[in-house]
Structure 1
């Protein structure tokens, strides 16, 4: 059993609006990459058993070696569970020749209606040991901030 990382944020939008952003291709490309990265989805199949392939590129490659290549992280994500307005469970596998990034990381995005919006909790289980915990939690927090900005701007 690997490490577990998590982060949470309150978003001033309904669970349905947040859920839609978790399953929208354009939305994911915009908000999922953490600060300092951009993302591009190459394959898209938003259903249980489906998933997507995302290429994440560091905006400044200096001191940011990618997991998959120079300044890039490539991740194949499968949708393990989709419960409308409540839960998205993803299984993520990084393309990497480095065994420190091997394995399947499970990311659970839980949505709970609260105080005129939605509490979003992200739990990452079996995080590969090559991913620094502090950096990973910072990245999840950054993605949550991007998600909030994306959804709240459209509400």
Structure 2
């Protein structure tokens, strides 16, 4: 069964600054990995039909569960479906895994909406593979949004 989640955060930054944090590979490596994880972009092609490949690495102390690409690594490919500067990004994401519960294409729609104190950044995930618990997806998204806010508000 496919699942979905939706999370948002109001961030004290312009839509342009936030959009740039999503379209700069070095910025993505800093803020997109949730919690104590780290990230590496393997390639990046900013255009509709292009995309990027990214690895998320778990800290040494982490307990690893099923569905991982390799020991302490989640690798995925994101394909850009829609890019509307400063307003919206839509990505189709596939994890590199042999576990069918974590396979399949998941969609992520990210919107940037001006609000009184900055910009509301909203993540809508649809088609989340059955092996990913919605609560875990939400927790990871909330953590990444916190890191994104810190990144844009201090840079």
Q: Which runs of 5+ in 2 are unaligned?
A: none
Aligned to 2:55: 55
Q: Deviations over 1:90-120 (max 9, x none)?
A: 1100000000011100011111000130001
Q: CA deviation at 1:61?
A: 4.8
CA distance in 2, matches of 1:146, 1:62: 19
Query: What TM-score does the superposition give when structure 1 sets the normalisation length?
Result: 0.95
Tell whether the 8 Å contact from 1:14 to 1:116 is kept in structure 2 after alignment: no
How big is the shift at 1:60?
A: 2.9
Superposed CA offset, 1:7-52 (max 9, x none):
1100000001101101011110100000021000001101111100
CA drift at 1:64: 2.0
Question: Match for residue 143 of structure 1?
Answer: 144
The number of residue pairs the alignment matches comes to 154
- 1:74 is aligned to 2:75: yes
How much does 1:6 deviate?
A: 1.5
Q: For residue 136 of structure 2, give the secondary structure of its aligned residue in structure 1.
A: helix
Q: Report the TM-score when normalising by structure 2.
A: 0.95
The answer on whether the counterparts of 2:10 and 2:117 sit within 8 Å (CA) in structure 1 is: no
The CA RMSD over aligned residues, in Å, is 1.2
Tell me the equivalent position of 1:102.
Answer: 103
Alignment of 1:119-130 (within 5 A): 119-130=120-131
Moved over 4 A (4+): none
Give unmatched runs, 5+ long, in structure 1: none
Q: What residue number does 1:118 align with?
A: 119
Are the structure 2 counterparts of residues 153 and 62 from structure 1 closer, same or farther at C-alpha, using a change threshold of 3 Å?
closer
CA distance in 1, matches of 2:64, 2:146: 21
CA contact 2:54–2:76 (8 Å) conserved in 1 = yes
| Distance of aligned partners of 1:33 and 1:62 in 2 relative to their CA distance in 1, 3 Å threshold | closer
